[in-house]
């Protein structure tokens, strides 16, 4: 089985508000099939420009997003939840314009949002709003993917098993699991077992080493991870995601307190080859 290989474009960018299409050529030169872009900085991100640039370079585009505290679909405030649903619908529209089969990321709550009180209430409100979002996604032929984060970045769920419980609450087939090996390495007892548990419900895969460097480093057992993806019948994207520059906004806000590479272009090209040989 051969899966397409992509890179999260903020690998090369300093700020979340940077022109993402400006780095597309680097992804093409490094040998990737596609780029994962983010709508987290807002919807005025030059979607038409990104579409034109990607087409000119022969790249596919995958979309992700996030929710601010004013657009948190788990919020006790109904107006805030409505703003979040509307935001996700607009992101789905842009995903369709870019030809992305998914809308991934932290789609279910705010990233780094921790609250006092009963977490189940937040999960229930999020799941109810997500069902409405999934209904709209299904009309566009797009899957909403739920990135499973580690315990230091969300309380909603931190394992595939927890994500599947949330998905049961949502109750819609257009919602899928998004695996990220950096987070899985912290939270799962066994990465391959977690992949098998997710099975046909996997919608997207992101990879990085255990220390969030390129996947050719670190100690993750990629052979067993790949076999589990094959057993699950997963045919979607494998995207390399990290934010390696500790001196800029993208690195600082993701806690890269040291530079993760001193040769980003070479590491990216080597990662593309490594993923194709060992994961995709």
Pick the CATH number of 5-278 from 3.60.21.10, 3.40.50.620, 3.40.50.300, 3.20.20.150: 3.20.20.150
Q: Where are the domains of the chain?
A: 5-278
- Catalytic residue numbers read 147, 241
pLDDT at position 43: 63
| pLDDT value at 202 more than 90 | yes
DSSP character string of 171-238: --TTEEEEEEHHHHHHH-S-HHHHHHHHGGGEEEEEE--TTSS-TTSS---HHHHHHHHHHTT--S-E
Residue range 30-82, pLDDT digits in tens: 999 999 999 986 667 889 999 999 999 999 999 999 999 999 999 999 999 99
Tell me how long the chain is.
Answer: 280
Mean predicted confidence (pLDDT) in 213-223: 97
């Amino acid at each position: 089985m051969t899966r397409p290989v992509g890179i999260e474009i903020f690998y090369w960018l300093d700020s979340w508000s940077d022109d993402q299409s400006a780095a597309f050529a680097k992804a093409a030169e490094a040998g990737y099939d596609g780029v994962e872009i983010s709508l987290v900085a807002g919807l005025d991100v030059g979607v038409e420009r990104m579409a034109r640039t990607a087409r000119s370079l022969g790249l596919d585009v995958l979309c992700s997003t996030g929710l601010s505290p004013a657009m948190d679909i788990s919020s006790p405030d109904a107006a805030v939840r409505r703003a979040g649903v509307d935001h996700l619908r607009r992101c789905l529209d842009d995903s369709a314009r870019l030809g992305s089969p998914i809308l991934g990321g932290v789609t279910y709550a705010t990233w780094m949002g921790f609250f006092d009180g009963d977490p189940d209430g937040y999960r229930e409100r999020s799941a109810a709003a997500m069902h409405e979002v999934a209904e709209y996604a299904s009309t566009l032929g797009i899957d909403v993917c739920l990135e499973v984060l580690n315990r230091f970045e969300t309380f909603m769920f931190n394992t595939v098993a927890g994500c599947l419980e949330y998905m049961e609450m949502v109750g819609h087939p257009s919602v899928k699991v998004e695996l990220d090996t950096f987070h899985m390495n912290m939270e799962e007892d066994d990465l391959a077992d977690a992949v098998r548990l997710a099975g046909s419900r996997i919608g997207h895969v992101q990879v990085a080493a255990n220390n969030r460097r390129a996947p050719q480093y670190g100690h993750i057992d990629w052979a067993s991870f790949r076999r589990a993806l094959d057993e699950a019948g997963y045919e979607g994207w494998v995207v390399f995601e990290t934010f390696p520059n500790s001196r800029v906004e993208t690195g600082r806000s993701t806690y890269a307190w040291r530079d993760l590479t001193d040769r980003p272009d070479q590491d990216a090209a080597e990662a593309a080859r490594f993923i194709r040989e060992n994961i995709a």
